[in-house]
Structure 1
């Protein structure tokens, strides 16, 4: 396999290539170290020379996955990113996800494109709210989960207590592959439970390079680490006695979760995670279409658009559609069919991203993620194919709970304002609602969380050159309605009906109490709850 991860011959079949691929996402609560872990994985796979950290202070390096200026300034991931790594002759397609709950919709789209997930938890905080929400999505989609207990270099909880919490709150059986030597805050190394050997770690300056490791037999480990090793070995024996050993079938069935201990900021334990992904994570397999029929990986090419993004190349302002290859072999220049419209689309400009960096892609296989440039005909959720038609299940639209009217600060830049709002709508940054009463100059932005408004404001000013004023509205509830009910609902006090880009009419209410009141006065009105996760 070449360093870029592509097969050495254009005649490689899809099934052979798929077996060499692992496509996974990293999910966590904000500040659990997700972007730092992503960077450490790239470092250990030798995709980068040194690791950066997320920090808003000038002069610090930033991670490759958090490339937007707002991400670097705020120290949080606000958009998903795609990286491809090659490790042990295996291609790892890593999709980094936004950590903040306000961007759950983007994370959900990413989880529709992966075959496994790495669930990162803070050693001190355990399973937090956003982690549990994302776990529920993985469970619903049948995505196997590898758990990493991060930040073991800092004070935290007892490891057995964390295992109990994982079992109690997720229903999964934790099966640790490694067990820490030294309490949280005194991370000396790990016991590898499959070989009973000790792997000791040594820190590097700033965690910028791969941490040196030393591997010792149990006797040498006991001599070196003393009581810390004895405690670790006793706890490992206790785990074995309770049946907490890895079972591959149980893992793939979503019954158990392998567990690793790490300190991503110091690159401790990260190499073992790469090995675990190669050895245990499932390769791409058949994906069910909209009718529930599986599409084999060796069927003709098919793919799924799970993300749109502009602004990655400030010099060209292009629009990129991220496509997960589901079946067959994709070759640049292929004319594909868009299932939604039945129209052809020529894939002339195809790239693979590495954070903000790009490389031209000639060939891609099941599990790979490619970026189709200037793909204005594509929408999030689109299926594309050659030869044999297929349409994959659509993505649900989240129920917005925050609403604001957007107006251009400079009316002379209305053209830029309209282009920016249209682009943010297409990318799913916000939902855009319109009505004849408000007009195109004052669309209503609808969001799952208020930070989406901050992103919209930042990008409108920085990327599209049209700063906006946002006037928050008092609505908190949206219901889908129909044209027959719209006029009656609009006449109700505190209710407004607007139209979304997909044609749906949404009735907005100040609260659930008002919804129930209107339902009593208009019992025949169509008021359908929106899908929310």
Structure 2
């Protein structure tokens, strides 16, 4: 069996939030505690050259947002922590949805002033569907914001989470004095601009008159609020958290490195170790002897000098070992990997053994696509790694005829990352790019020019939705293909797709051809 100790000491989680809630800043501070970086990047200013460690693509540095999921691993208190920092921007939600299939728990970051925002609602809904354990970090307490109780009510209503505060703020904005840690029963005082976190002052009983020495008049208010918290919210149960029934809440200011250590310490103590995954054949447990894993992300050009593609694989069971033959289930062939890598943002190091819960990067020459499974020989596929029907479409046109080869290669590789989808018209042969968000068109254009030395431009196309279609009724299928021949394309895998130009056109097709099944995600 795989070393249970190695499995038990791992924590793999994602940080999710609406853009600008402070997610990347929180990631930075967590990395500082793990000694993974020595200085935090100034993510707030695009003018400052020190950008966030997790935002390493050139376009991310320019815009100050995360557009690709970064994977970072570090050690803290004999625990191996793997953070997956996800894009907050809604145009990259698909990347985030897939990343959530590779983690065992989630930290949700909420801005104290803005409260629960739309993108957070969407992402939390995905986590709830999977019963993923969630912690909440309410950020930016050094600024004026919503009342703590009001914010907890908003989280319960909008995110449908049952919250339990494990820390509590003393004031906020200009009057922010610190945080009382309910879980560890100690008080942390806030000093603006001070990045060094000192040990908390122990208060087993907040009735202790010594509290006044630190908080003055705010001491009595803290006592009242803690009494109210204990009266309104149930006592924390680790079992309820692990089953996704309750979500612990912490308060702090990531930019000031305040409240982050408390969050990390409790996280290490209560967050789940690597969990098993459901496959199409059976449930796979992490402590099984045989290695299994799945590809949840592909990134082209992590090093533009070498044009390399990396497939990110979540190890589900067993131990992944270097230079060992593994079965690529979809292609039904054995592959071995000479230099599997572990990540610290874009810094990579070759590893010999990778345990359940860890993320390993495999150099890829075009063998992998998102959702692929690797095993030691067993035929199984892990479930639930979707590819969505795009919502926005453009014709893509070569803007430099001398660079047709580079453009074709660039589009081919970028589509493998899953940020967008490519459809080729069966009749016209024209290429159409479909995305979930408008910003992706910009990112694709930028990366084609800067990473592949190819230029493209876009032309408009009127499209409502794409739908994959299959049928056992050959007559209906042939009739549909003939009548809709100008509205049929093939995707990158050669599967036929119906290009519906309006909701009415799609509805009519569904009614007229009842034996044809139309799908809006590629998992069918």
Q: TM-score, normalised by structure 2?
A: 0.93
Query: 2:142 — aligned with what?
Result: 153
CA distance in 2, matches of 1:275, 1:490: 63
Q: Which moved more, 1:212-221 or 1:73-82?
A: 212-221
- What is the correspondence of 1:137-152 to structure 2 with a 5 Å cutoff? 137-152=126-141
The DSSP-based 3-state class of the residue aligned with 2:505 is helix
Is the alpha carbon distance of 1:243 and 1:336 closer, same or farther for their aligned partners in structure 2, counting shifts above 3 Å?
same
Residues 1:121 and 1:382: Cα distance change in structure 2 (over 3 Å): same
1:95–1:110 contact (8 Å) kept in structure 2: yes
Is structure 2 residue 13 aligned with structure 1 residue 24? yes
Which residue number in structure 1 is paired with residue 157 of structure 2? 168
Distance 2:199 2:455 in 1: 51
* TM-superposition CA deviations, 1:384-443 (whole Å, max 9, x none): 01154432115222121111111111111111011001101111121000124332xx41
Unaligned 5+ runs, structure 1: 1-11
Distance 1:406 1:487 in 2: 29
Whether 2:309 is the aligned partner of 1:311: answer no
| Matching of residue 264 in structure 1 with residue 254 in structure 2 | yes
d(CA) in 2 for partners of 1:36, 1:489:
51
CA distance in 2, matches of 1:308, 1:389: 22
Give a deviation string over 1:443-486, Cα, whole Å, max 9, x none: 10011111111111111111111010111212122222348547
Gaps of 5+ in 2: none
Give distance in 1, aligned partners of 2:211 and 2:304.
53
- Residues 477-520 of structure 1, C-alpha deviation per residue, up to 9 Å, x if partnerless? 22223485476467469x72111123332212232133234445
Structure 1 residues 228 and 309: alpha-carbon distance in aligned structure 2, compared to 1, 3 A threshold? same
Pairing 1:179–2:206 present: no
Q: Is the contact made by 2:469 and 2:496 (CA closer than 8 Å) also made in structure 1?
A: yes
Q: Name the stretch that deviates more: 476-485 or 128-137.
A: 476-485
Structure 1 residue aligned with 2:495: 504
Q: Which residue of 2 aligns with 1:395?
A: 385
* CA 1:285–1:184: 2 relative to 1, 3 Å: same
Secondary structure of 2:52 counterpart: coil
Name the SS of the counterpart of 2:381 in structure 1.
coil
Q: Aligned to 1:190, what secondary structure does the other structure show?
A: strand
Deviation at 1:96, TM superposition (A): 0.6
Please state how far the C-alpha of 1:94 moved relative to its aligned partner. Answer: 0.4
Partner of 2:185: 196
Matched, 1:412 2:412: no
Match of 1:515 in 2: 506
Which shows bigger deviation, 321-330 or 295-304?
295-304
Task: Tell me if structure 2 keeps the 8 A contact 1:400–1:478.
Answer: yes
Cα separation, partners in 2 of 1:519 and 1:143, compared to 1, 3 Å: closer
Q: Distance in 2 between matches of 1:151 and 1:406?
A: 42
Q: CA RMSD in A?
A: 2.2
1:446 maps to which of 434, 437, 443: 434
Find the aligned partners of 2:222 and 2:522 in 1 and give their Cα distance: 43
State the Cα deviation string for residues 307-360 of structure 1 (Å, max 9, x = none). Answer: 111121122111111111111112211111111122011111111121111111
Q: 8 Å contact 2:274–2:286 — kept in the other structure?
A: no
- 1:321 aligns with 311
For residues 82-101 of structure 1, give each alpha carbon's deviation from its aligned partner in whole angstroms, at most 9, with x where no partner exists.
00011110000000101111
Quick one: which of 17, 38, 48 aligns to 1:49? 38
With structure 1 as the length reference, what TM-score do the two structures score?
0.91
- Give the corresponding residue for 1:5: none
The alpha-carbon distance between structure 1 residues 241 and 46, as it changes in their structure 2 partners (threshold 3 A), is same
C-alpha distance in structure 1 between counterparts of 2:41 and 2:197, whole Å: 14
**How many Å separate the matches in 1 of 2:15 and 2:478?**
42
Shifted more, 341-350 versus 189-198: the winner is: 189-198
Contact residue 55 and residue 73 of structure 1 kept, 8 A: no
Separation in 1, partners of 2:357, 2:438: 33
Contact 2:322–2:351 (Cα < 8 Å) also in 1: yes
Report if the CA contact (8 A) 1:289-1:295 is conserved: no
SS of structure 2 residue aligned to 1:463: helix
